[in-house]
């Protein structure tokens, strides 16, 4: 751990350690695909509906199906309660999740249709968008949609001078020294390409490169949890 004001993680983890994870597939029987992913105090649920004919007709694409992602945090997912309904933040997160998932889902055989992915966060302790992506990727695979590879996501961060994997809310809100930096990223399982990379805070180019490498290694562990959950339902790997 780098020298700085944050020298020991509040929950005792090492800098490269992900919080305890659980993943389940097929949690909503009425959905075409569904999954949950939980890490520490953050839990995401994803439900897939479709492919189904897209209406109105002028929005249809004759070359491919369309993926739509709706992201939302439940009102009591955090201690101070969130106002119900869509807001600018949830719409922005839904859109970046949509872009990331589009990199691994192949809807070219489903012209003029739409696949809707609904991500809900019932418990939030930082890293909600990456938990949502992990759940959504499993739900899409569970729905039987063609996927080039799996998508795995993690939030790397920095508290003062220390780089950390899978930051929790206390670390995300660290104010001393250089403060906190949040780097959500998503990695494709086979080609190890970056499908999502965002940055909130201040970080040097060298630190950013190191944080990405830390995130990639953590994603290898998350991928094992995702694939094990899928195997428990499908009996085969979608990697």
How many Å from the N-terminal Cα to the C-terminal Cα in the chain? 33
Helix (H) or strand (E) holding 227: helix 205-234
3-state secondary structure of 224: helix
The confidence score (pLDDT) of residue 83 equals: 59
pLDDT value at position 75?
55
| Environment class of 165 (CB within 10 Å of its CB; exposed 0-12, middle 13-18, buried 19+) | buried
User: What are the structural domains of the chain?
Assistant: 21-229 (3.30.230.70)
Question: What stretches in the chain show pLDDT beneath 50?
Answer: 78-80, 235-239
Show Cβ contacts of residue 98 under 8 Å, excluding neighbours closer than 6 positions: 67, 68, 69, 117
């Amino acid at each position: 751990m780098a020298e700085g004001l944050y020298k020991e993680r509040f929950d005792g983890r090492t800098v490269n350690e992900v919080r305890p994870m659980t993943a389940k597939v097929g949690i909503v029987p009425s959905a075409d695909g569904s999954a949950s992913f939980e890490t520490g105090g953050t839990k995401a649920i994803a439900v897939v509906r479709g492919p189904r004919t897209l209406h109105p007709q002028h929005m249809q694409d004759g070359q491919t199906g369309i993926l739509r992602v709706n992201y939302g945090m439940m009102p009591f997912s955090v201690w101070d309660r969130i106002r119900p309904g869509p807001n600018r933040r949830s719409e922005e997160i839904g859109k970046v999740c949509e872009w990331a998932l589009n990199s691994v889902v192949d809807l070219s055989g489903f012209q003029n249709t739409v696949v809707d992915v609904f991500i809900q966060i019932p418990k939030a302790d930082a890293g909600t968008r990456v938990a949502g992506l992990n759940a959504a990727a499993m739900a899409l695979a569970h729905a039987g949609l063609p996927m080039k590879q799996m998508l795995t996501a993690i939030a790397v961060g920095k508290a003062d001078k220390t780089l950390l994997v899978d930051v929790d809310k206390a670390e995300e809100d660290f104010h001393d020294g250089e403060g906190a930096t949040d780097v959500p990223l998503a990695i494709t399982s086979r080609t190890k390409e970056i499908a999502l990379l965002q940055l909130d805070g201040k970080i040097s180019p060298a630190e950013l490169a190191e944080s990405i490498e830390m995130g990639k290694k953590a994603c290898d562990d998350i991928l094992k949890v995702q694939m094990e959950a899928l195997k428990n339902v499908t009996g085969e790997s979608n990697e």
